[in-house]
Amino acid sequence: MIQESVIKDPALAPEGQRKIDWVAQHSPVLNTISENQLADGALRGRKVAMTIHLEAKTAYLALLLSRAGAEVTVAGSNPLSTQDDVCAALAERGVRVFATHDPTDEEFERYLQRTIESGPEIIVDDGAELVGRLVEHHPQLVGNVVGASEETTTGILKLKAMEEEGVLPFPVLAANDARMKHLFDNRYGTGHSSLVALLSNTNLFISGKAVVVMGFGWVGRGLAKYADGLGARVIVCEPDPVKLLEAYAEGYEVMNSIEAAGVGDVFLTGTGNLKVLAREHFERMKDGALLANAGHYDHEFDLAALGEMSSSSREVRKNVTEYELPDGRRLHVLARGRLVNIAAADGHPVEIMDLTFAVQALAAHHLAKNAAAMEPGLHTIPAEIDDLVARAKLASLGVEPEELTEEQISYQKSWRW
């Protein structure tokens, strides 16, 4: 039996449609791919399940896959990032949706389970939310799946663990590791959107403040870059000594996180790990410190410990929770520790997600055509996908890349002088 969508209110659809139309107007790469690669019929009749932050950019990807003939079911990947008007617009346009903004934990879990129960052949995943639950709770549906693609660093870590245990039963394309994803989305998209969300939700001045960036992967690099560009004093904390030294070479201050806890005015996490900021950090933080997370889960902060330490907590602005400690210090957590850029704002710029979702669209297309010949386990995104996305974006800018001459190509392939 076909399951009906579960959304907040169908009457919200018109505003969601306007948001999606704006994305469509500013997504030249996705539009090109839709007209060319996705139109070849490879996705026609395929069941596709998606769980990515459910806002207008994700909705447009879902609609293009649907336009290519796929039967698409979507759920949100974070309770606070789902936008109810966008869900209503998707359902109105024939995409099955299981998502509402700020559901209970039980409702959120059920939305993911119902998405899996649609019996997908191709999964577009975020944080391995669908793949992990499918393998653990729905072994009878595993055989339906020809392959999946993964959006996040957190998800890649989970999938590697599954692969090492020998429980990853089908091929998964590491979309997060594609050059046209992590070099732009993780770095520029997260850096830009997280600082925009921080400033818009607090209405505070960041120039001159000490901003502590936890982690110096691609997300951390972006956070540091944009904070620095806004005039902040940037301090980086990172367990990898090579990355920490690289942060130093970039001109940032580097410290152990315990030392930085007593110095920072703003703390930005983007590690994909848990308890990056914990009790020992909270004990040292200044009165008025701001904490914002740009990593996948809210457990990058040990919010349980912070709650235990606090004498009271209250919402002092929309998306800002103030924890008052017994000594009178106040610590401010944005978006309940969820991804600040998407739980308290609209997420990455449209033009950035145009690149990321072009990779995801082509990954789904690649799986539809080639998964039968692929071994189970993690796979890199084919180089031709990165190249196609980059060239399509450059073409939209009116730019043609340089072409090497035959002499130059021969020179690069020879070791002889």
Q: Which of 191, 263, 257, 202 is nearest to 227 (CA)?
A: 191
Go through 345-380 and write b for each residue having 16 or more CB atoms within 10 A of its CB, e for each that does not.
bbbbbbbbbbbbbbbbbbbbbbbbebbeebeebbbe
Q: Give the Cα-Cα-Cα angle 54, 55, 56 (nearest 5 degrees).
A: 135
- For residue 235, give the 3-state DSSP assignment: strand
Phi, psi dihedral angles at 31 (to 5 degrees): -65, -40
CA dihedral for 343, 273, 362, 182, sign (positive or negative):
positive
Opening angle at CA 167, ends 161 and 173, nearest 5: 70
Beta carbons of 81 and 50 less than 8 angstroms apart: no
Measure the CA–CA gap between 400 and 156, rounded to whole angstroms.
Answer: 33
Place of tokens 């139309």: 21
pTM: 0.94
Rg (CA), the chain: 22
Phi, psi of 98 (to 5 degrees): -125, 90
Pairwise CA distance, residues 367 & 363, whole Å: 6
Instruction: Give me the tens of pLDDT residue by residue for the chain, a chain 417 residues long.
Output: 457 999 999 999 999 999 999 999 999 999 999 999 999 999 999 999 999 999 999 999 999 999 999 999 999 999 999 999 999 999 999 999 999 999 999 999 999 999 999 999 999 999 999 999 999 999 999 999 999 999 999 999 999 999 999 999 999 999 999 999 999 999 999 999 999 999 999 999 999 999 999 999 999 999 999 999 999 999 999 999 999 999 999 999 999 999 999 999 999 999 989 999 999 999 999 999 999 999 988 999 999 999 999 999 999 999 999 999 999 999 999 999 999 999 999 999 999 999 999 999 999 999 999 999 999 999 999 999 999 999 999 999 999 999 999 999 999 999 987
* Alpha carbons 187 and 185: distance in angstroms, whole number: 6
59 three-state secondary structure = helix
pLDDT value, residue 2: 56
Angstrom distance (rounded) from CA 10 to CA 87: 8
Tell me the torsion sign for CA atoms 403, 405, 408, 409: positive
pLDDT, residue 60, reads: 98
Task: Answer yes or no: are the C-beta atoms of 223 and 230 closer than 8 Å.
Answer: no
Report all structural domains of the chain as residue ranges with CATH numbers, in order of start. Answer: 10-181+349-396 (3.40.50.1480), 188-343 (3.40.50.720)
Quick one: pLDDT at residue 416?
86
Single-letter code of the amino acid located at 230: L
The kind and range of the H/E element at 229 are helix 218-229
Computed from CA positions of residues 150, 340, 330, 199, in that sequence, does the dihedral angle turn out positive or negative? positive
By DSSP bridging, strand 71-75 and strand 47-51 are parallel
Confidence at residue 394, expressed as pLDDT on a 0 to 100 scale: 98
The Cα 260–Cα 71 span in angstroms is 50
Q: Which residue matches tokens 């620095």?
A: 228
| DSSP letter assigned to residue 188 | I
pLDDT at 1: 41
